[in-house]
Amino acid sequence: MFSFLMNPFSISGKVAIVTGAGSGIGRGIARVLANNGAKVVIVDNDERKAEEAAAEIRAEGNVSRSLVADVSKWSDMQNMAASVVREYGRIDILCANAGIYPPSNIIEMSEEQWDRLIDVNLKGCFLGLKSCLPQMLKQNCGRIVMTSSITGYRTGEAGLSHYSASKAGMIGFMRSAALEVAKNNITVNAIEAGTVSTEGTRRFAGESLKQQEDLTPTGRLSSAEDIGNVALFLASDLASNITGTTIVVDGGRSIVE
């Protein structure tokens, strides 16, 4: 009688797109979704990384394919959505995760550096939604999960003003987008991630990662899978009446800061 509780997070058979999934947080999100039954499309601008991530999922007995695209280009996002619909017939989940974070102080930052980061992180999120929403509206259902950050919306960090602006902007965009599609059984939410232990953050932060870990109340940094687990919840039917909001995954770090 209560058999549905055996796997309340089941997204079996759902078609999920994860951008920036060739590595880092996106790769972790993709694996979690695939391990819970989704057919996952790995989208990345690096063909080798994208296919490696998809092959890893297939090796675990799940369904995945790779797709090369630049999230900051409308033509690429149009082609992405069209390709997924041609192959699978639908788009159930979009995890708009692609992002970059090259540090630069304001005085040294070029206009090109600012524009590139905003184009990938914020414009890329907009274009991803714009490309996938027509199919979701046609289906009258969909789940959209954005990877934002505590940096920008709750905290700040020197050298990351452009990153902070993109992630704070994402939250404002998410709330308004959620209102536009709420009547169509489409939810739009975001994850505010703290520092996540990935290859990229280890390369960027170096020895300061240990200090950040020590300052985290739970005593550890989040993993990519921690973010993936929250994405899974927001993509599942358990979160069907949650929209226009964020979930913080930072081990309590923003409370301290």
**Which residues are catalytically annotated?**
163
Element (H, E) at 96: strand 93-96
Helix axes 124-139, 74-88, angle to 10 degrees: 30
Distance CA 129, CA 94 (A): 8
Where helices occur in the chain by DSSP H, the ranges are 24-35, 47-59, 74-88, 111-118, 124-139, 150-153, 161-181, 199-205, 208-215, 224-235, 253-256
Distance CA 172, CA 153 (A): 10
Work out whether strand 93-96 and strand 64-68 pair parallel, antiparallel, or are unpaired. unpaired
Question: What's the full length of the chain, in residues?
Answer: 257
Distance CA 109, CA 240 (A): 42
CB crowding 115-131: b at 16 or more within 10 Å, else e: eebbbbbbbbbbbbbeb
